[in-house]
Amino acid sequence: MPDANSATSIPNSGQSSNTVEGDPGHAKSATEGGALWCYFLSKAIPHHDELPDSMNVQDWMTKDISKLSAEDQQAWCKAQFEELEALKKRNVYELADLPPGRKAIKNHWVFNLKSDGRKKARLVAKGFSQIEGLWKIEGLDVKSTFLYGTLDEELYMEQPQGFKVLGNKHKVLRLKKAIYGLKQAARAWWHELDRSLKALNFSCLYADAGIFVAKHYDRTMVIILACVDDIILTGPNTAQVASKKKLFMDKWECRDLGKCREFLHMRIEYQGGKTYLDQVPYLEKILKCFGMADAKAAQTPLPTSYKPEPFDGTAMAALRSQYQSVIGSLLYLMLGTHLDLAFAVTQMAKFAHNPSEEHLLKTRHILRYLASMHKYALVYDGRSDAGLYAYCDSSYGDDRSDADCRHRSMQGYYFSLANASVKWHSKTQTLISMSSTMAEYIVLSDCARDCAWYKILFGELGKPMPYIPIYGDSHGAIFNAQNPVTQKGIKHIEICYHYI
């Protein structure tokens, strides 16, 4: 990098004498005394409202770079120059005259800040999204799913009331296929689905029985995600996805949903290389249902330092029914997109069998919190190049919901991929921790087991991961995980937790 008194032109690699368009070119002003003016101008109050958000570098545009200090502009300009040089070195482009009647594709810069502080710039053609252009995502809805399943055993059912066959009212119906309401229905449907997909050269993953993969000779693949009757097909090759989709629809009667915009009542939107996942319509529905649409906003899911305790009395039936309805609705949100509710909802769900008025009041506090942020969504940024990371933490002996033992610890962890959460977990630990280090060590171990599952999953999807970083804040737990030697201070911990 040049010093403060030198010219700010981009250093040339020596392979090209071309001048980069947009070069600040302050050499003249520096030699004529203009450098001092530049210094004072950099200290002035900017004309724009505020500097670009440093937490969202991927959303910056070239005009945002121009708002930075001269030193930062120089660094980002260097990153852009390095990107162009890399493209030229790989013979990605060459200068040419635009032929008559042809239209040139526009482009824009995508900026990124690496974990080690390095600035990265990437040139992207406009109109060619890095996610949507590579992975086609199609949705299907299989009609009358459970009616396809073949039963392995003999089952008989009474004739429906009011529709008994005259002269044969004493007879029953022998079920040859599964029917809604049977415990075997879901399993029977899955077996039928598995058999049909095998015929289409799909194989079920070991890590997840609901994911099927068909690999092709060119090493590309089509992935099917099945959750009962909701089906998603995706893959990097558009033609292959369309072909498998047609074959699937030839086998099963489906409703073609086209580009996947909704899955399990979660909305999916695609914009600028990012995928947005939310449950806004359902959230607005439950807020209206419980009369909380215009409620005063709360800043946290539960009041600060609130510790729920069991109710000594007996809950009224109406109160219990209302409480369970609220908890059920919140659980659906928590399992879908709202990891911020994981601790609060799992805590309050413990009292669903016998809630008090205070418990109901606290669940309404959770609804007030949701009312203040019901437009929020999980945003997966495909341009971020952010891999899979795990974060875990625990409290120590502060769970008072158990009447017999008031010293259990709470734990939680979540996984982040493409800068958004993909899995989260919060629960009371089953063991009584003898120290804060033990509590942290247990959650570290539980998190590590999910890391092992993710390694298996991504390995089967052709994206092997040598390791997955786990972040924790307990030096004692980290030390014990990195030094698997039974020491005096940890020899009482269950052997099953020495997994990390």
Cα separation, 191 vs 23, whole angstroms: 63
**Which helix (H) or strand (E) element contains residue 394?**
strand 389-394
End-of-domain residue from the set 73, 98, 125: 125
Task: State mean pLDDT over 395-416.
Answer: 80
Mean pLDDT of the 128-146 span: 70
* Residue type at 264 in one-letter notation: L
Q: Does residue 345 sit in the same domain as residue 256?
A: no
442 or 102, which is more confident? Answer: 442
> Left, alpha or beta for 356 (phi > 0: left; psi -120 to 50: alpha)?
beta
Fill in the amino acid letter for 26. H
62 band by pLDDT with thresholds 50, 70 and 90: confident
Nearest to 147 by CA among 207, 113, 203, 193: 193
Same domain, 58 and 201: no
Out of 60-64, 380-384, 496-500, which region has the weakest mean confidence (pLDDT)?
Answer: 496-500
Res. 51 pLDDT band, cuts 50 70 90: low
Mean pLDDT computed over every residue of the chain: 79
Residues 399 and 251 in one domain: no
For 226-260, what is each residue's pLDDT tens digit? 998 899 999 988 889 999 999 999 999 899 999 99
Give residue 337's pLDDT: 93
Residue of 377, 370, 378, 376 whose CA lies nearest to 288? 370
pLDDT above 70 for 30 = no
Q: Residue 458's pLDDT is what?
A: 92
102-112 mean pLDDT: 66
Residue 2 or residue 488, greater confidence: 488
pLDDT-derived band of residue 35, with 50, 70 and 90 as boundaries?
very low
The answer to whether residue 46 scores a pLDDT higher than 70 is no
In DSSP terms, which residues pair with 222 in a beta bridge? 214
- Indicate if 242 and 309 belong to the same structural domain: no
Residue 407 in this model has a pLDDT that exceeds 90 = no
Mean pLDDT lowest for which of 84-93, 139-148, 470-479?
84-93
Pairwise CA distance, residues 480 & 500, whole Å: 9
Question: Could you tell me if residue 6 is inside a domain?
Answer: no
**Is 100 domain-assigned?**
yes
Task: Give the pLDDT confidence score for residue 247 in this predicted structure.
Answer: 94
Q: Does 303 share its domain with 210?
A: no
State yes or no: pLDDT of 500 exceeds 50: yes
- Whether 27 has a pLDDT exceeding 60, the answer reads no
Give residue 155's pLDDT: 79
| 13 falls within a domain | no
| pTM of structure | 0.68
**How far apart (Å, rounded) are the C-alpha atoms in residues 423 and 322?**
29
Confidence check: pLDDT of 128 > 50: no
Largest CA distance in the chain: 110
Residue count of the chain, please give it: 500
Task: Please name the helix (run of DSSP H) or strand (run of DSSP E) that holds residue 249, with its range, or none.
Answer: helix 238-251
219 pLDDT above the threshold of 80: no
472 pLDDT above the threshold of 80:
yes
Determine the average pLDDT of the residues in 10-21. 40
Euclidean distance between CA atoms 372 and 293, whole angstroms: 9
Residue 480 confidence (pLDDT) above 50: yes
**Per-residue model confidence (pLDDT) at position 426:** 92
- pLDDT band at residue 87, thresholds of 50, 70 and 90? low
Q: Is the Cβ–Cβ distance between 57 and 64 less than 8 Å?
A: no
Element (H, E) at 158: strand 150-158
Structure tokens at 255: 């409703």
Structural domain that includes position 483:
284-497
* Angle, vertex CA 320, rays to CA 317 and CA 326, nearest 5: 145
Tell me if 493 is assigned to some domain.
yes
- Of the two residues 152 and 339, the one the predictor is more confident about is 339
Instruction: Give the pLDDT confidence score for residue 133 in this predicted structure.
Output: 47
pLDDT classification of 365: cutoffs 50, 70, 90: very high
User: Residue 489 and residue 499: Cα distance in Å, rounded?
Assistant: 17
Decide if 112 is inside a domain: yes
Are 112 and 189 within one domain?
A: no
Q: What is the pLDDT of residue 405?
A: 56
Which has the higher per-residue pLDDT, 392 or 49?
392
Q: What pLDDT, on the 0 to 100 scale, is given for residue 40?
A: 34
pLDDT of residue 420: 94
Least confident of 49-53, 194-198, 286-290, 347-351: 49-53
* 386 and 491 fall within a common domain: yes
Whether residues 387 and 468 share a domain: the answer is yes
Closest to 226 (Cα-Cα) out of 239, 215, 213: 213
Determine phi and psi for 286, rounding to 5 degrees. Answer: -75, -30
For residues 87 and 143, membership in a common domain is answered with no
Is 130 part of any domain? no
What's the number of domains the chain is made of?
Answer: 3
CA distance 72 to 84: 19
9 within domain boundaries:
no
Last residue of a domain, which of 125, 156, 187?
A: 125
Structural domain ending residue among the three candidates 92, 125, 158: 125
DSSP assignments along 35-101, one per residue:
HHHHHHHHHSPPSSSS---GGGGGG--HHHHTTS-HHHHHHHHHHHHHHHHHHHHTT-----PPPTT
Tell me: pLDDT of 105 over 70: no
Same-domain pairing of 241 and 315: no
Q: Is residue 276 part of a domain?
A: no
pLDDT at 57 over 50: yes
Whether 143 and 73 map to the same domain: the answer is no
Helix or strand run (H / E) with residue 263: strand 262-263
User: What is the structure's pLDDT at 234?
Assistant: 93
CA distance readout (Å), 152 to 99, 191, 360: 68, 11, 46
70 and 44 Cβ atoms separated by less than 8 Å: no
Per the model's pLDDT, the better-predicted residue between 286 and 89 turns out to be 286
Residues 238 and 293 occupy one common structural domain? no
